């Protein structure tokens, strides 16, 4: 993953990290970017909504950012291989841990994700492949 792409995604996440733009300001602020061929093709945020129960999500009335990003582009992706970049930010914009939950991990793997980059509480990015 190109460093510039990670910084570009973080810039967008920080711009969206405000009460006027985040649909669920009172909860964790997760942002996911779906990437193909080093280009951002989709963006999602965690928000209120009905989760897709057959995927194993809990009945909390939340849509996770990874699922939201995938739903935005599922009909326009060039092929099934993609990467996800995840950020979780505090209200002040500091990086927090954004490791995908087990349901998102399984969903991403099933949909063709090849790698996940995610923020950590110590201010770094970590990586995991499938």
User: Where would I find the H helices in 57-101?
Assistant: 65-73
Per-residue CA distances from 1 to 44, 59, 92, 118, 127 (Å):
19, 34, 26, 12, 10
| CA pair distance 127, 30, nearest whole angstrom | 17
Q: Express each pLDDT in 17-42 by its tens digit.
A: 998 888 777 778 899 999 999 999 99
3-129, what's its fold? Cytidine Deaminase; domain 2 (3.40.140)
Looking at residue 59, its pLDDT comes to: 61
pTM here is 0.89
| CA pair distance 119, 26, nearest whole angstrom | 20
Res 61 pLDDT > 90: no
The CA angle 46-92-72, to the nearest 5 degrees, is: 25
Q: Express each pLDDT in 93-120 by its tens digit.
A: 999 999 998 889 988 998 899 999 999 9
Domain limits, the chain = 3-129
């Amino acid at each position: 993953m190109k460093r510039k792409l990670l910084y570009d995604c973080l810039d967008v996440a920080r711009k969206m990290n405000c009460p006027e733009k985040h649909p669920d300001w009172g909860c964790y602020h997760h942002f996911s970017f779906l990437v193909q061929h080093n280009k951002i093709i989709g963006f999602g945020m965690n928000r209120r909504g009905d989760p897709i129960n057959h995927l194993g999500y809990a009945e909390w009335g939340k849509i996770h950012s990874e699922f939201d990003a995938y739903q935005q582009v599922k009909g326009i992706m060039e092929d099934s291989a993609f990467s996800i970049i995840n950020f979780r930010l505090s209200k002040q914009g500091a990086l927090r841990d954004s490791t995908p939950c087990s349901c998102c991990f399984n969903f991403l793997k099933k949909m063709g994700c090849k790698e996940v980059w995610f923020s950590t509480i110590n201010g770094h990015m970590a990586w995991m492949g499938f």
